[in-house]
Amino acid sequence: MPPKVDPTKCDGCQGESEPLCEQVCPGNLMTLEKETKKAYCREPGDCWDCMTCTKACPRQAIQTMLQYQIAYFPGKLIPLVGTNSVTWTSIDCHGRVERFVMKTLVSSDDEDED
Amino acid sequence: MAGNIGIFVCGCDGLISGVVDMAGVEAGLAKVKKRIGAKVFHPRLCGSGGTGAVRSAISQNALDCVIIAGCPESECRDVFNSVAAEAGLAPEMVLRLDIREGCAFPHGNNPGGATAKAVNLIKMWNARARLAEPYKPVYATGNRDVLVIGGGLAGLSSANELAEAGLNVTLIEKESYLGGRAGQFDKVFPRMCDSRCGVTFLVNRLKDNPGIKIMPFTEISGLKGSAGRFEAGLSSRPRTVDPEKCNLCGKCEQICPVILPDEYNFGVVTRKAVTPPRPLDQVGSYVINRENCLPGCSLCADICPAGAIALEREPASSTVKFGSIVLATGWQPFEAEKISRLGFGRYANVLTNVQMERIMSPDGPAGGRLVCPESGREPENVVFIQCAGSRDINYQGWCSTICCAATLKQAINIKLLNSRIKVYVFYIDIRVYGDYEELYSRAQEAGVVFVRSSPAQVYAEPGAAGLMVVGEDTLMGRTLKISADLVVLAAGMKPCGIPQPILNHLSHGQAGESRGNPEEAGLLDRRGFFVGHRQCFPLESPAQGIYPAGTCQEPMDMANTVRGALAAACKIFKTSGERVEVSPMVPQVDKAGCDKCKRCMEECPYGVWYFDNDGYPAPDPLYCKTCLTCVGACPRQCISAQGFSVQELVGTVTARVKETEPGEPHVVAFVCENDAYQAVLLAGRMGLEYPSGVHVIPVRCAGSCNMVLIQDGLPEGIDGFILAGCRHGECHYIHGADRTEERVANIKLTLRDIMIEPERVDFVRLGVRDAEKFAGHARDFVERLKKMGPSPFKKIN
Amino acid sequence: MADRVYIDADVLILGGGTAGCMAAWEARRTGGDDLKIVIVEKAFIRHSGCLSAGMNALNMYINQGKPEDYVSYARYDMCGAPIREDILLSVANEVNDTVAIMEQSGLPMKKKEDGRYLNRGKWNIEINGSLLKPITASKAIEARAEIYNRVYITELIIKDNTCIGAVGFGVRDGKFYVCRGKVTMVCSGGAAGLWRPNNHGEAHHRIWYFPFNAGSSYAMCKRAGAEMTTFEVRFVPVRTKDTYSPTGTLSIGMGAPMVNSLGQTFMTEDPHYVQLGGHTAPTPIRAYGFQRETLAHRGPIFMDTTKGDPAKVTGIKGQYLDMSPCLVLYWGCNDIDPSKEPVEIDGGDPNIVGAHAGMAGAWTRDTSRETTVNCLYVSGDALGGAPSRFISGTWTCGRITGRNMARAIKDNNYQLSELEPAMIDSLEERTFGPLKNYLERSKEGLWSDSTLMSGIFPKQMEDRMQKIMEEYCGGRTRWYFVSEPYLNIARRHIKRMRNDQLQYLCARDLHDLQLAWDVINRLDVCQLVIEHISYRKETRFPGYVIRTDYPDTNPEFDCFINSKWDSETDEVVCFKVPYEQIVPGDRRKQSI
């Protein structure tokens, strides 16, 4: 599921030498196009689909697409990362939407039940 | 994390309790128990009974954080802060919650909604309080090293002020002498005292101060670091003449074959490549300007009887470290030769106003006598032409503000010298402001003739000796032709320019990316003058620690130059204390969470970040202006200030709240405390109604809103978000509101991608008095939300 | 010569993963404030390695019974085969403590109403583990370990059979890193990508194991002269078709059985499988069942999710989002609703792992985790002979290694050793060799498509290696079958590649250099695998390796097979090491 970067949203992490997606990629695959200052995956086939970059992008500019050889177009799965949770939106090929809110960290502050 | 919280709800003598049902609030909070040490509902907390109740509740229950729900923070601040302090609680741990202007007032006709909203707000503030860490004062040691660039009136004034206060000052001047323009001129209006007097006085004072190092003939060649930890490379040109050996015999100057216009005298006379020491040259020997020499020429060195000349000397490089910079690079005259109809450069008897200063200076080329350069004789008719290039879009569109007064000064002085000389002034408008109007009267009394004229023309009549000045007298409606022996053009001021290393530093982000050309980056205005953040902080540049002074900012007279220079010194004093308790609002980085992505550095409007010893970004607390744009920018949410962390704000959007009325959309509004929040308060005071589901949370600056607030709040089922910042160009922190507008635009795209209406997040700009706009906007927004229906997450939570 | 960075440590940890982070944490607890702990990580510690996509369960937790019962289970799950019971018992003794530590560090645990962890089957507990790696890394940061991200370690520095440090290159800065440690811990994961993956082209890394673990643990230990063990027990995953996502969520979590195309739950219906253990048969047997059914033309094979608890099916997508989100997308794109239709499964490419249901790795002297090379410790997938540690066991195993290292430094008063400049220079030359090759060989000309006229790139070499392993060493398309004649061909080609072809290996940039070292390391692991499989002349783990020339088990091989590499002859010498049973009982049965 190679990461695809939306150039209208990616801001190259403000011209940093190493944008966040490049910093976090376990496979050393994300990098910055020098001219456009937009991130891209240098070797889409080498991606393990861990979605680390997708979740790390502060601009939600990265979407992970399944390779066409194994999945039809145009399904989507998009995470929205909060401090203690991640909200997933799955949009299948027919446009059906499913949403999941998954806990990611124990929040140190559990409120009264009310 | 607060362990024992006190909740105090004030009835405000009926102002709140007349609308909000206090018993209802108490019932609504009945289940809020965890880590609550006290809950007090009181008709008037700021009265003596109320303060007593707060004081005893804090000390008896050992509360470590209290919420005062009542009037806005701007009121009764001292009352509650001192009550807390008396009970042993740091005033920083008092969280104020406005349920009067923000709840009772706008929902006066909706007591049910107001009561439910008050409960919600208290729960939201409780979530903040639970995450609040105990206040810890932070101290910083000031920085006492300053670099002053420019040895003119502004630079000398700043340097003197700083050095006399015991700071260490390095002053660099690109010429071999100090004093700048003020040292070149003749007299100062309005008192007609000697222009060189002031700078001479300053130089003499500085000479004896061990805290200052003066480096003439020196320019800045590189700049690294940030406020508090700058490092500059300096490059000093060699004088080539050894001052120890030079006996000022002048043989070198005589033999020098190079002849050039003399800049010191604005080209009225010529000079050699070898020049004698100028006034206020602190070294006092001859100077060889090597860039002017003929290749291979060594006549001066050969002839020097003292053997003082060594032509092979190289420029000297050095490095200085300092905390702040005063930028006092000054101005230069407009090039009057660009306006061919005025004949400057074509006729020797057409001078500019600065040349006139040299002519009339006692140490000028004419020895202070008024003469025509061509004849060497005193003129009979002198014509001044104002706005030579100024206020003309073809040349310099602006008014240099001082030329009129300068011309009046020169005209008066001519009349004082010889009242028989006829003096005419061709002008568009005489722009002398304030008390300088008196100069105009004096000139009129002295017999100066003023001609209100369209742009004039200067030409030589064939065969005649003098010049002719022709203009249209717009008052009399006729063409006027005056013959003149001497024409003086009032050429305006233009900036000398900012040294390239400083421009480079300012026009690049801290991670090195370019912010575009200096004008795009907001550093220079279209004229090339240095732009501060004019509205709120005119003395500051986009990078803290670099303060402009004097005419590099805009044309100004000497009095204003000195004022500005002292103001720059004041900014520096603020960061030079021995031990300064810094604002609790100075952000701190949680290193365990930081990935060193540097976005904080990039988005800081003031460039106050640096890398600490461990390589993590840190803001310099002395220079930080606590806008907390960094808190809003941090993708790891690991930057927080005391009492203001993303986690605390997240607490407010994830608190377990209820609909204020059945089916009423739940809206959280983060509003800038500087302008927008004032509009919200005003809306309350004006009794403007808006829906009860709108819960307002004031924030430091719109730029301090981290988008994770939406990312966390949305799945909690919040129906809509309002983010409110200052109006265009009015943000107190330069671009906080713009940053947030841009972040909101981005998250709207994300919402679109995940099939949630982007309109659920709304950005609005409000001025301090936009109460109607706020209330109307809130009503419309909630109306739109109702049409959209509840958030898709309402169902799954 | 590259710029050099010299790093001195008391404890030098190579790999900031599941084991490494916890080793640092425990070493700090044991060794005190002054201990200098360094972690060198080839990626970015907060998001690297096997845990980068998250995980929705911890597969090792003593929900019931005693630690010995877990050892009994792990032994049973390896077909009653020899395992290092001493190691596994030491992990089982502490694993529950470790989980409690991680919960305190912020890991969200799912709980039952009585407050106990929500179990999934006997030994698993459910978690919301999408931030498993950041939470793990936070322990290393908490321990104030000095962390070097994006440094790829290429070789250990060995002097007189003692490890004194390691060298590598900066993936971003291109510098040469020379690290010394009083003790060194290798925990840089197992090996994926030795065999050809199922998907091709841009999906070729859509595999079960983390594809960037290229066997450097094994290769470096092997080259250091450490004794290695059990490389014949490779792990063959049977996982969701195409995405190769874990299936424990379906099988244990929902009780979904494997069914064939005839609708038979063959593991419990066919007497052949019932006798081998039925649906709770050892992992290799269940893989074997899948393979045998497919070969008998009763495929495709499914996990039947339609008969499971409907309430649990709803939660299943959420669970996969915590671990393998791409499966949820796959279902969405392919119109698959697991509550309405069964989920197809497939066999994937074999992997060499030590802590999952495989047991390859370095041999350790005792429970100290010190290898046969002095001062060289291993943990995680790098440690051999002790399967079924999974994540929670690997955290624990890392902790124990960290503790033992800190103690060993104190007890033996270890000091840093002097480096020999000539040796470091030659290691540098070796490390940057492929870069230098490119500089030299690119001068000999490029084809019009920018490929080298006289060199090969890492990807090309990887393809060649995977083809050899696939076709001659029992790849998936060969149904995991091997025999001596096939192995002989594999042996010959892998030897040729290692001895003759590496001289042509070229790297254009630092990313390429990383890929080059991946393939160098993989080739070393291939050699170990071929020799070990060849030496074990029997079939003990049928779903993993089936020797067509020795289809039955042979009591003579009821032992470990260990090996040592002879650097002079480039031979891997295998030998038998007896198995020691510590936990009593029938090895072919689970105690509870």
Q: What is the mean pLDDT of residues B53-73?
A: 96
Q: What is the mean pLDDT of residues B205-220?
A: 94
Instruction: Check pLDDT > 60 for residue B504.
Output: yes
Are C329 and C269 part of one and the same domain? yes
Are C388 and C515 part of one and the same domain? no
Cβ–Cβ under 8 Å, residues B609 and B618? yes
Which chain B residue has the Cα nearest residue A96? B755
Q: Which of C331, C347, C363 is the last residue of a domain?
A: C347
Cα–Cα dist B324/B318, whole Å: 18
Are C270 and C403 part of one and the same domain? no
- Identify the weakest region by mean pLDDT among B88-97, B429-438, B520-529: B520-529
Given an 8 Å threshold on Cβ–Cβ distance, is B595 in contact with C142?
no
Closest CA to C266 of C233, C239, C229, C301: C301
The pLDDT assigned to C81 comes to 82
Cβ–Cβ under 8 Å, residues B547 and B539? yes
Closest CA to C392 of C120, C578, C165: C120
Given an 8 Å threshold on Cβ–Cβ distance, is B714 in contact with A111?
no
Residues 6+ apart with CB under 8 A from B622: B140, B142, B143, B227, B228, B323, B574, B575, B580, B582
Task: Calculate the CA C422 to chain-centre distance.
Answer: 34
Mutation to test the A interface, candidates B714, B740, B750, most A Cβ within 10 Å: B750
Cα–Cα dist B706/B743, whole Å: 9
Task: Considering only the beta carbons, identify the residue of A26, A102, A106 that sits closest to C130.
Answer: A102
CA–CA distances in Å: residue B20 to residues B30, B32, B659, C86: 16, 19, 16, 69
Q: pLDDT > 90: what percent of chain B?
A: 82
Are C271 and C377 part of one and the same domain? no
Q: Which of C388, C421, C454 is the last residue of a domain?
A: C421
Q: Show contacts of A93-101: CB within 8 Å, 24+ apart.
A: A93/C332, A93/C333, A93/C335, A94/C335, A96/C332, A97/B755, A97/B792, A98/C317, A98/C332, A99/B792, A99/B793, A99/B796, A100/C317, A100/C318, A100/C321, A101/B715, A101/B793, A101/B796, A101/B797
* Burial category of B314 from C-beta neighbours within 10 Å (exposed 0-12, middle 13-18, buried 19 and up): exposed
Given an 8 Å threshold on Cβ–Cβ distance, is A112 in contact with B711?
no
Which chain B residue has the Cα nearest residue C145? B592
Active site residue A48: yes
- CATH code of the domain covering residue C440: 1.20.58.100
All structural domains of chain B: 1-136 (3.40.50), 145-236+323-330+501-574 (3.50.50.60), 251-314 (no CATH), 334-494 (3.50.50.60), 579-641 (3.30.70.20)
Closest CA to A60 of B726, B761, B652: B761
Residues 6+ apart with CB under 8 A from C448: none
Cα–Cα dist C380/C373, whole Å: 17
Instruction: Check pLDDT > 50 for residue B797.
Output: no
Cβ–Cβ under 8 Å, residues B214 and B440? no
Cβ–Cβ under 8 Å, residues C81 and C154? no
Judging contacts by C-beta atoms under 8 Å, the chain C residues touching residue B595 are: 44, 46
Given an 8 Å threshold on Cβ–Cβ distance, is A69 in contact with C203?
yes
Is residue A109 very low, low, confident or very high in pLDDT (cuts 50, 70, 90)? low
Check residue A31 and report its DSSP letter: E
Cβ of B659: how many Cβ atoms within 10 Å? 18
Cβ–Cβ under 8 Å, residues B167 and B210? no
Cβ of B193: how many Cβ atoms within 10 Å? 11
Cα–Cα dist B118/B102, whole Å: 9
Whose tokens are 């299948």? That residue is A92
The pLDDT assigned to A79 comes to 96
Cβ–Cβ under 8 Å, residues B55 and B37? no
Instruction: Check pLDDT > 80 for residue B723.
Output: yes
Phi, psi for C351 (deg, rounded to 5): -130, 150
Are C27 and C156 part of one and the same domain? yes
Whose tokens are 């509003």? That residue is B671
Task: Considering only the beta carbons, identify the residue of A13, A83, A101 that sits closest to B597.
Answer: A13
B33 touching A, CB under 8 A?
A: yes
Cα–Cα dist C293/C311, whole Å: 30
Residues 6+ apart with CB under 8 A from C449: none
Q: Which helix or strand (DSSP H or E) is residue C296 part of? A: none
**Tokens matching residue B662:** 């059945």
On whether residue C363 sits in a domain, the answer given is: yes
Using the CB atoms, write b or e for C334-367: b if 16+ within 10 Å: bebebeeebbebbbbbbbbbbbbbbbbbbbbeeb
Q: What is the mean pLDDT of residues B338-356?
A: 95
Give pLDDT tens digits for B399-455.
999 999 999 999 999 999 999 999 999 999 999 988 899 999 999 999 999 999 977
Cα–Cα dist B303/B255, whole Å: 8
Residues 6+ apart with CB under 8 A from C122: C63, C64, C73, C592
Given an 8 Å threshold on Cβ–Cβ distance, is C142 in contact with B592?
yes
The identity of residue B470, as a single letter, is V
Are C523 and C476 part of one and the same domain? yes
Residues 6+ apart with CB under 8 A from A35: none
On whether residue C400 sits in a domain, the answer given is: yes
Cβ–Cβ under 8 Å, residues C507 and C154? no
Task: Calculate the CA A12 to chain-centre distance.
Answer: 14
Judging contacts by C-beta atoms under 8 Å, the chain C residues touching residue A66 are: 326, 329-330, 333
On whether residue C173 sits in a domain, the answer given is: yes
Q: Could you give the angle at the alpha carbon of B212 between the alpha carbons of B211 and B215, nearest 5°? A: 155
Check residue B630 and report its DSSP letter: H
Which chain A residue has the Cα nearest residue B658? A114
Q: Which helix or strand (DSSP H or E) is residue B178 part of? A: none
Q: Could you give the angle at the alpha carbon of B461 between the alpha carbons of B459 and B467, nearest 5°? A: 50
Is residue A65 very low, low, confident or very high in pLDDT (cuts 50, 70, 90)? confident
Judging contacts by C-beta atoms under 8 Å, the chain A residues touching residue B755 are: 89, 91, 97
Is residue B627 very low, low, confident or very high in pLDDT (cuts 50, 70, 90)? very high
**Tokens matching residue B338:** 């660009």
Are C414 and C455 part of one and the same domain? no
Cα–Cα dist B556/B405, whole Å: 11
Cα–Cα dist C164/C148, whole Å: 18
Query: Comparing B581 with B549, which gets the higher pLDDT?
Result: B549
Residues 6+ apart with CB under 8 A from C330: A66, A70, A71, C240, C242, C243, C336
B314 touching A, CB under 8 A?
A: no
Task: Calculate the CA A64 to chain-centre distance.
Answer: 6
Instruction: Check pLDDT > 80 for residue B458.
Output: yes
Give pLDDT tens digits for B142-163.
999 999 999 999 999 999 999 9
**Coil vs helix vs strand at B71:** coil
Phi, psi for C159 (deg, rounded to 5): -135, 120
**Tokens matching residue C341:** 């239709």
Residues 6+ apart with CB under 8 A from C99: C58, C61, C109, C117, C125, C392
Are C414 and C289 part of one and the same domain? no
Cα–Cα dist B613/B591, whole Å: 12
Given an 8 Å threshold on Cβ–Cβ distance, is C333 in contact with A92?
yes
Give pLDDT tens digits for B23-36.
999 999 999 999 99
B754 touching C, CB under 8 A?
A: no
**Tokens matching residue B493:** 């001021």
Are C495 and C437 part of one and the same domain? yes
Phi, psi for B385 (deg, rounded to 5): -115, 115
- Identify the weakest region by mean pLDDT among B297-301, B627-631, C447-451, C486-490: C447-451
On whether residue C246 sits in a domain, the answer given is: yes
Using the CB atoms, write b or e for B200-216: b if 16+ within 10 Å: bebbeebeebebbbbbb
Cα–Cα dist B643/B700, whole Å: 11
- Residues 703-722 in B contacting A (C-alpha not used; CB under 8 Å): 707-708, 711-712, 714-715
Given an 8 Å threshold on Cβ–Cβ distance, is B592 in contact with C46?
no
Instruction: Check pLDDT > 80 for residue B9.
Output: yes
Domain count across chain C: 3
- Helices B403-417 and B437-445 pack at an angle, to 10 degrees, of 30
C141 touching B, CB under 8 A?
A: yes
> Which range marks the domain in which residue C324 is found?
238-347
CA distance C28 to chain A (A): 24
Which chain B residue has the Cα nearest residue A37? B513
On whether residue C473 sits in a domain, the answer given is: yes
Give pLDDT tens digits for B315-332.
999 999 999 999 999 999
Given an 8 Å threshold on Cβ–Cβ distance, is C46 in contact with B595?
yes
Are C440 and C399 part of one and the same domain? no
Given an 8 Å threshold on Cβ–Cβ distance, is A14 in contact with B603?
yes
Q: How many CA atoms lie within 13 A of C542 on its CB side?
A: 17
CA–CA distances in Å: residue C3 to residues B752, C6, C417: 48, 10, 22
The pLDDT assigned to A110 comes to 61
C333 touching A, CB under 8 A?
A: yes
The pLDDT assigned to C438 comes to 96
Given an 8 Å threshold on Cβ–Cβ distance, is A99 in contact with B796?
yes
- CATH code of the domain covering residue C33: 3.50.50.60
On whether residue C89 sits in a domain, the answer given is: no
- Residues 592-611 in B contacting C (C-alpha not used; CB under 8 Å): 592, 595
Are C387 and C535 part of one and the same domain? no
C46 touching B, CB under 8 A?
A: yes
Interchain CB contacts (distance < 8 Å): B and C: 5
**Tokens matching residue B32:** 């809020």
Q: Look up the pTM and report it.
A: 0.89
Over chain C (592 residues), the average pLDDT of each successive run of 10 is 95 98 98 97 96 95 96 96 95 98 95 92 94 96 96 98 98 97 98 96 93 98 98 96 90 88 95 93 95 95 84 83 93 91 95 96 96 98 97 98 98 97 97 96 92 94 98 96 98 97 96 98 98 97 96 96 96 97 95 90
Strands C228-229 and C361-362: antiparallel
On whether residue C9 sits in a domain, the answer given is: yes
Are C505 and C437 part of one and the same domain? yes
